[in-house]
Structure formats: C-alpha cells, structure tokens
Structure 1
C-alpha cells in the first residue's frame, strides 16, 4: 500500500483547522511521514475527515433510472461508488428498502444487490454498507431479513412504515401510476396488492419485535424513520432504536436528544433551505443542537455542501458543521475507527477547495481513491 503525506493544507483536527501536514501509512492516519510516501500539495485547501453517509438512497437512480427500467446491478454499483467518491463520501450506508412492492424495492432486488455487493467488495474503495430499511408490512420477507442480519450482510436496521401513506395516496390516479410503474404493474393491480398487504397489519408489532431482536443479537445500530409522535419514538426506543431519522415533529426530535439519541435529517434540506415535503428546516435545528447528523438522503453532493452552508449562516463554524457529516454519523453507526483525523484511525480523508466548495481528492483507508484534474496536478513522486 502506498503511503501519503498531504502537505501544507488546513487540517481539521480536535475541532479546529490547523496549518499542518497529514500523514497516511498502512491505511491509517500516522504521526510522521514514511521515506517512500507520495505527496499531495494542499496549499490553500482543506484536509477534512472523509464523509460518513448514514442514510442515502440515491443509488436507486442508477439501478432504475426511469420507472420500471432496470440497469445491470454491477454497473449501477460502480457508478454509485464513483459518484460518492467524487462527493467526498468514504463510508456509505446504502439505504435499501425491502418492501412488499415488486420491482425496485422487492425481495428479489434485495437479493440481487446483496450478491452484487459481495462480488464487488474486493474492488471497492468506499466502505459500502447496507442500511436495511424494512417495511413494516413486508412480513413475508421477515425471516430472510433476519437470516441476512445474522450472516453479517446488514450493518444498520431501520423501521419503515410507508404503507399507510401509500394507501392514502392511491386515491390519486397519478400517484397510483407512479407507484405501479416503479413496481412494474398496473395501477389497479398495485391498489389491490396494497389493500391485501394492509389487511395483515395486526402482525406488524410482532414482526418489529422479531427484527429488533435479530439486530440486537448482531449488535447492530437501529433507526426509526419518519416518526410523527412521542409515542412512536418511545415505542421504537423500547425496541433499541437509538437513531431518530427524519422526525416529522420537532417535539419528537427534542425528546430523542433529551434521551441522548442521534437525530438525522437530510443535507439536501440544508442546501435547499427547507424540506421538499414541507417539514421542519434542518439548518436551525442543527444550530440548536437538535439535529446531530446530516445524511445525503437522495443527493450525494449535498453532504459536502451542507457544512459550508451552515458555516455561512454564522452560528456554527466549519469544524462544528463538518462533524454533522463525519464524526457524528460515525458515532451513531458505532464506527469508532473513523470520522476524525487522529493517529491510528482510518485514513479516510477528503481534500476540498474551500472557494469552490469542491472535492480535490478522496482517500479511503489511506488509499487515493479519487482525484480531480486539479488534484492530479498537485501530486508529486
């Protein structure tokens, strides 16, 4: 493995930016350069911990760029990783929805993705992990999900429950068509399927208990999704879900923080200045310490942009804002070996042009995994 010294940049360490060199050796941050280390000149650049994306489903656009139109999964994974590296993401939890719906979010798509990821791992630079977003009503796939958790193929479990919302929207022909196209069936067939699935909701609580028990046995972090009430947060907390992602009410987020839990919202929300669904604005909640983690949600580059947006607002400085996309998500996911540039931790680094707010180079476990044309010009033997 090639060792590296990133010279003369401003390195984010211990909550502040310092003019310093950063050394990478044997895949980790080192205290000094090795004689054979290659160099990247970082004058005028920021040297930041690699981004940890705890929740992102932008990969679905590579798998199915148009409704019902699938692409080869191996190609889609390669494309997804390339885009992540170019956005400074060095650890990514692929948010894979395992639903009762056919098509993109089906159990067959789940199996295909896991197999493709197993085959791709020897060639990946990014640490790609699986964030299982299990739909509450998908009881037919419960035991398969439990088996995959036990086999170590899942790294984070989230409790989804989109069925009630889907049923409410199916009265609209346009909404029904959208869901049906994604599933590869007619609107009438999709309506019939959704109603049939919803008829078995009495078994959902037991299914959640089963899934949570499997996650606890495997030592996995758990997240609850789109909670709208304190009662929901309390019920998922009782299952062991210590990550509250995309809470629909501020009081839910406050309750989670008071319990010492991580609260996740989307970086696109910060970049756009508000939620595309009309929910709470993430930026002021982050400034108040209520939102502790930002995730890509559906746009990978938003994760790098969001800390600069927050710093420009003037409440958080860049080091504090960057923790929302590095140290904090790593901690929430139980990854103590990354998210900070400390000796002995993984050499996950993104070098950034602060003027353009653009990545120049990404290092994963000490390996130069992506470099821009500007970065290439800064490389030296």
Structure 2
C-alpha cells in the first residue's frame, strides 16, 4: 500500500545531538527530503524526536491478567498493549515475556498463547513489536519451546533470568511464600513442593543455559543478563555472549560492563520516582556518570517518555543527551542501525512531544501516522 508522505514543520527537532528548529519529512517509510504533495503537520511548540526504543517492558502482563487469577485473551491483551505503547511514543518495543517454571501468568501455556497472538497481530500493528524472552534458568521443561521459537524467529532478544535462588532464600517467610503461591495460583504447600522439585534439578541449569546461548548466537540475537549481583555473574553471562548488562545490582558490576564497552540498562521508573522501588541503586546519577546507557520502561510504559525530561530537570544532562538513553542507545544495543536518530534514510519513527506534559501528541511508525491526540488532529494541514 502506498504511504502518504509527510512534512513536519515548525518544530524543534533533535538532529545530530542537538535540538534546533528544523523541518522533518517522511516518505516511503523513512526520513527523507521534502517530497512533493506531502501532507503537513504543524509542530510549532513541539519537540520532534526519534521514536522511543524499549528493550524491556513487561506492563503487558497487566493486560493479560489485570487482577491475580483474572485473565483475558492474549489477542485482546496485545491490542491493548500496542495502543498503550503508541500513546507513550514507543515505536519499537521488546515485550519482556518471562518464561518461568511457575504456573499461571508466566507459564509455558501463557507463552504459547502470547506467541500465537503476536503472530496473528503483527501484520496489523503500526509499531515494531518484538519479544524479549526472559528465560528462567530452572525452566528446563520449557527449553525445547524456547529453542524452537528462537530458531523460528519469534524471539528477538534473549535475557538470562535466574530468580530461583532468591525465591528459595525466602521460603522461610510465610508472607513471601503466600505471595509467590498467589502469583502462581497455588496453595502455599503446593508452591513449596513445586520449588522443591525445581531445585532438585539445579545441576542441569548450566547445560541448558549453554544451549540457549548457542541457539541465540546462531540466530544473531542480542543477549543480556539480568540482575547481575557480582563481577562473577557478569563474567559468566559475558562468556555466553551477553553484551548487555540489565539492572545490575551493584555499581561495580555496571562499572565493569562499561569498561568492556557493554550497554547497561536500568529502569525509567527508577529515574521518574527518584530511586528503585526495591531499594537498589538510583539510576539517574549513574546515567549522569555514564554508567547507565539505556533506560527501559520495565513495569510502566509512560515512564520511558517522562524519564529524559526528569533527567534534564536535574540539570546535569541536557534533553538531547538524555533522549539518547531511550532511543539511540537502546537501538544500538539491540543492533538496530536503522532507527534512533532523525537522519535521511533512517526508519521513519518519529514522536512529536508537547514538553509541557510531556505528552506524545503524534507518533509516526515506519513513516505512517500511528497515534494522534485531539490536540494533534487540530495541527493537520
């Protein structure tokens, strides 16, 4: 289908690391020279920015299961998720889909339903919706599914998760047991029996992890480690090819990753709220020091748009530099060389932001107008 060419005029655009008045044109899905007969959008008073790239967002879980034990069809959840992402200016999203040994929301059954729903929805989606497989190390029964989906191109980013040890350490606390059991839809007794069976196969984890890493490397997928607590953790996953360090639990781990030229990811909600909800390191000062290079929405899509403005308000990083954390840097970390900047020939992913909000007034994905607020509609020419 032929695309409508666009001229975005009168706005302040992010070009070559600086904000300046400029016209941006879109044609045939890409940033282009002003094409003849283009439709006009008046961007006066707005910022014209590269679309947001989100490497890890799992807020889709609330669309799948808005209350514990209350589920909705995966296709419906995907549609709702896509609409929320676009409203937040996110044009490339890696859904952080946890494939765990726990029943329920993060189970193999839910994984299969969600993969099928994504397959069905993608031809109609405006944004580039990808899958960040968060594979729980002890989920040995799901290994074959994961390997098959990697080979089939259904997975676009592999994350190594290992949450079993901290769960085991909390089994002496009845409140924690009840929390995990409730998430899995089990009684406390049944959950304790389940994790006992899982822990009994712990010696099989290294071989399974190696098979996943080999499959991902063969498929050309970027890989990341999650919640690295020690330099040993980072070294282990680096040896498997994980060149992205996500949510390091110690500053020294982030420093080590940056010394190796690796991307370090932390959560945008951490920046917006002024600290981690788990009491871990504060992301904003680490970003200002260059130790955090990528922000992800984590559990709250809107935080990704808000975070660069929050950093700019702190006065140690200008908006152009802060925007790199949510667009150019994550694109580079994921190996997506065609987005994250407003340069001729790049993919036409553009978000027009009212800085007073900040609010995404209009969003273009691949050169197509994908989201428009009422205020944005009044700007169409």
TM-score by length of 1: 0.98
CA displacement at 1:175 relative to structure 2: 2.2
1:281-308 Cα distance to aligned partner (Å, 9 max, x none)? 0000000000000000000010010000
* Distance (whole Å) between structure 1 residues aligned to residue 374 and residue 245 of structure 2: 39
Aligned position for 1:115:
116
* Structure 1, unaligned runs of 5 or more: none
Distance in 2 (CA, whole Å) between partners of 1:82 and 1:172 is 39
CA deviation after TM superposition for structure 1 residue 358, in Å: 1.1
Separation (CA, whole Å) in 1 of partners of 2:125 and 2:76? 13
Q: Which residue of 1 aligns with 2:362?
A: 361
Shift of 1:143: 1.6
CA positional deviation for 1:181: 2.2
Give CA-to-partner distance per residue, 1:299-334, whole Å, 9 cap, x none: 001001000011111111100000000000000001
**SS at 1:334 equivalent:** coil
CA drift of 1:125 comes to 0.7
Shift of 1:369: 0.4
Partner of 2:338: 337
Q: Which residue of 2 aligns with 1:207?
A: 208
Question: Displacement of 1:34 after TM fit?
Answer: 1.9
Q: Which residue of 2 aligns with 1:14?
A: 16
Greater shift, 177-186 or 103-112, is seen at 177-186
Residue 177 of structure 1 deviates from its aligned partner by 2.2
Note the aligned Cα RMSD (angstroms).
0.8
Q: Secondary structure at the match of 1:379?
A: coil
Task: Out of 187-196 and 151-160, give the one that drifted further.
Answer: 187-196
Residue 147 of structure 1 aligns to a residue in which SS? Answer: helix
- Measure the CA separation in 1 of the matches of 2:357 and 2:145: 46
Structure 1 partner of 2:4: 2
Give the 5 Å matches for 1:257-276: 257-276=258-277
Give the drift of 1:96.
0.4
2: CA distance between counterparts of 1:248 and 1:84? 27
Alignment of 1:46-195 (within 5 A): 46-195=47-196
CA distance in 2, matches of 1:10, 1:242: 34
1:159-209 residue CA offsets vs partner (Å, 9 max, x unmatched) = 000011112223333322222222222111111101110111111111111
User: Could you state the TM-score of these two structures normalised by the residue count of structure 2?
Assistant: 0.98
Shift of 1:238: 0.5
Query: What is the distance in 2 between the residues matched to 1:94 and 1:195?
Result: 30
Aligned length: 379
Structure 2 unaligned residues grouped into runs of 5+: none
SS at match of 2:176: helix
Alpha-carbon deviations, 1:118-149, whole Å to 9, x = none?
Answer: 00011101110000000000011112111110
Alpha-carbon distance in 1 for matches of 2:94, 2:204: 28
Deviation >6 Å, runs of 4+: none
Please, which moves more after superposition, 140-149 or 274-283?
140-149
Tell me the equivalent position of 2:27.
25
Q: Which residue of 1 aligns with 2:35?
A: 34
